[in-house]
Amino acid sequence: MLTLTFVVVVVLFALGLAYVNAPGIAWLVAAAVALAAAWTLHALPTTLTLALALVGALAGLLLAIPPLRRALVSHRVLRLYRRIMPPMSQTEREALEAGTVWWDGELFSGRPDWQRLLATRETTLTPAEQSFLDHETETLCAMVSDWETTNVYKDLPPAAWDYIKQKGFFGMIIPKEYGGLGFSAYAHAAVITKLSTRSGTAAVTVMVPNSLGPGELLLHYGTDEQKRHYLPRLAKGLDVPCFALTNPYAGSDAAAIPDHAFVRWGEHEGKRVLGLAVTWDKRYITLGPVATLLGLAFRVYDPEHLLGEVDDLGITCALIPTSHPGVVIGRRHMPLNAVFQNGPNSGRDVFIPMDWVIGGQAMVGKGWRMLMECLAAGRGISLPSSNTGLAMLTARTVGAYARVRTQFRLPIGRFEGVEEPLARIGGNLYVMDAVRRLTATAIDLGAKPAVLSAIAKYHITERARQTINDGMDVIGGKGICMGPSNFLGGAYMQHPVAITVEGANILTRSLIIFGQGAIRCHPYLLREMGAAQEGDPAKAIRAFDAALFGHVRFVLANFARALVMGLTGARFVRAPRDVAPWTRRYYRQLTRFSAVLALLADVAAASLGGALKRKEKLSARLGDVLSLLYLASATLHRHEAEGRQAADAPLVHWALQDALVRMQGAVEGVTSNLPNRLLAGLVRLAVLPLGPRLRAPSDGLGHEVAQLLIAPSATRDRLTGPIFIGGGADDPVGLLERSLAATLAVEPVHAKIRAAVKAGTLDAALAPEAAPGLLTQRALQAGIIDAAEANLIATHHELVARVIAVDDFDRDLGAALLQPAIDALARTRAGSRQRSVA
């Protein structure tokens, strides 16, 4: 019994040391005390005690004498590490090193510093930015509609194009010194979000020049001459930019683009200059068909060694006027019936002078790093903002529709089956906007959060897809009949474009988020890799030794913390004090999952080595944990930044409970699929010692969230943010808002009439839905309602009838207008058949 007690005490004490990440000297002192106690109390056999003392003495020597430790341990581990470390290409290295680590580093630490997050003040709009959002952006929204752009103009209306250029929409990120607006990332995101609540075509048209494109590349890497020439022209809309990266044979694997250039001498403007002969074939290039300035990525080769001794100089970015001889601007793509300008372009042996390379000759071969660093910021603004706008549109319109539309004498938003998707719409939107705002704030603080931008892009676009699908389920037939009154069908058709671009979501989840995050955010992994690649043996062993033993302590600490927090439900974890008291349990659980993520990442990397790179399902699940930690962090930050709005509590609870249960599922998925089953069992014991105990949001909580969407309130306004509500009589969003107001106003009147019917005062055979006019007239005659209330019923009935109506067209859907084009196509096909027969 004494031996068992002694072992239990020692194990608990060791767990405590590991939990607090005690230094080596503390472990040595504790071991000495434990051995002395074992000897004095005879808690262990004498031989075992002496053997443990010998092992402890050797361990003490290794810890106390670093040169001995390096020679006997670290040197051997370093050789093994170099053998098993997967090879890394230059493009992979540049992608990993691009951008900066921000809050994602804390999430990988096992013990996030929540005060650091809470001390991050959310960016606020300047008066000029707020005015632009309230006036210029509002005006542009009023000038366009998805129905007209898609079915009438097949483009933005000419007046909208002119307005965009005149008001500087293309120059939001360009500093004022070059004629731009000089907006913050937060303002840029707000403008795109608002435009997206009105027109996807307008949002994309404005979004692209302000994200990854010539403007941003010039700002960061352009020569002074290039900046002075191009930035004012871009800011004023004199040049329309596009950037061409994707090749038919290199989409997500953009580093493998076959587009190429050879360094050679050539003629330009009558002079013999050193330049590049470029050949390319690009597609999916947004604004390409109307661009006047083409940003182009290609690989440069120097077989004649005109620039040095290297043949393959790497990916390079250049600016080429589309009027330049040899540039071929192709026709247009039609991405899922979206009509933003998008199409292919190409060129063959097009000679350009060297000073057309962005940054000049010195930046030849540095294009991939340029693109990765700019993408780290741009990807965190463009698609997250546009997709959050779509979700705002969905929440506002579908929530109103669910209150206005009745079935079985009950608003459909009161049905539990409808409440379920409404709850997802509301909860997901709260998270999406929180992530959009926090990511933009990070960029304004100077961060280039490559990993967090990938997380924002993937999860916001995926949740937008879920939100739009849920919205379509709720509105039913109203959503599937296209026409000017359909407020959601266009978004439903076009949304998959967002899933595909700027890194296809499947690959973003399975390769990028964890693959890049584990190396960039881990406190020791990148240091170990750097030491392994260090050419100086003495520097390498010292750096590797420090990283290795820090890493060992890190693993032990996270093992102990994950186990203890799992056993106690993280109830005793320190949480921030200056937060809403009811949120502290969420901070504690997120701290627990931070330790779980760090432990699982190390176990996966150690057990699989380079094979982890190919275990994409495991990588995806680990990335899910990291992503959900960030989404939950953003949710908590938003709640604090908005002043802890008590009315928003159901949204916060739903969002955090959903995130936690998803994290739990991802952790289960990792432990269930680690190839080494013995190790998997041990790890599962540490990370889920009591099994999966977290639960998804309850039906009751979902009911509370759903009710927030179907009635006007400050919470609903905060949730749907800067949505554009048109004032026109036929504007579908404005019509829904007026119908919702009328519905709320008329509900008490209808209640009076129902009460009269129930009491027998009115004919019970007549229901308001069956004969609303007649019943209203009889109620008025009977004095149950007054004339104003009768008028209210009539107005409400008219508005609801217009809301639930769907559009219809001529039988040929306008094909007669296209008859000349149809006849021409038929003649072309007939001619092709004749040539084929001949």
Q: How many CB atoms lie within 10 A of CB 292?
A: 17
Q: Which residue has the tokens 């632009």?
A: 132
Q: From CA 140, how far away is CA 145, in angstroms rounded?
A: 10
Q: From CA 346, how far away is CA 282, in angstroms rounded?
A: 6
Distances (CA, A) of 791 to 276, 743, 780, 787, 796: 75, 13, 10, 6, 8
* Of 331, 339, 464, residue with least CA distance to 392: 464
* Of 651, 802, 675, 635, residue with least CA distance to 731: 802
Sequence-distant (≥ 6) Cβ neighbours of residue 128 within 8 angstroms: 181
- Let me know: does 495 contact 472? Beta carbons within 8 Å: no
Query: How many residues appear in the chain?
Result: 838
Residue 235 is encoded by which pair of tokens? 């800011």
Q: From CA 417, how far away is CA 422, in angstroms rounded?
A: 9
* Strands 260-268 and 293-301, sheet pairing: parallel
DSSP state of 694: -
Sequence-distant (≥ 6) Cβ neighbours of residue 71 within 8 angstroms: none
Q: From CA 597, how far away is CA 604, in angstroms rounded?
A: 10
Q: From CA 435, how far away is CA 456, in angstroms rounded?
A: 7
* Of 631, 336, 618, residue with least CA distance to 460: 631
- Let me know: does 439 contact 104? Beta carbons within 8 Å: no
The catalytically annotated residue of 148, 373, 419, 502 is 502
Q: How many CB atoms lie within 10 A of CB 225?
A: 10
DSSP state of 327: -
Residue 436 is encoded by which pair of tokens? 């959009």
Q: From CA 705, how far away is CA 419, in angstroms rounded?
A: 8
- Judge whether 502 counts as a catalytic residue: yes
Read out DSSP for 471-528? HHHHHTHHHHS-STT-SSHHHHHHTHHHHHSSS-HHHIIIIIHHHHHHHHHSTTHHHH
3-state SS class at 298: strand
HSE (side-chain half, CA atoms, 13 Å) at 348:
0
- What is the enclosing helix (H) or strand (E) of 25? helix 24-41
Q: From CA 612, how far away is CA 596, in angstroms rounded?
A: 18
DSSP-based helix, strand, coil % in the chain, nearest 5: 65, 10, 25
Q: From CA 806, how far away is CA 801, in angstroms rounded?
A: 10
- 413-431: b (≥16 Cβ within 10 Å) or e: bbbeebbbbbbbbbbbbbb
Sequence-distant (≥ 6) Cβ neighbours of residue 319 within 8 angstroms: 214, 218, 226, 230, 293, 294, 295, 296, 356, 358
Which active-site residues does the annotation give?
502
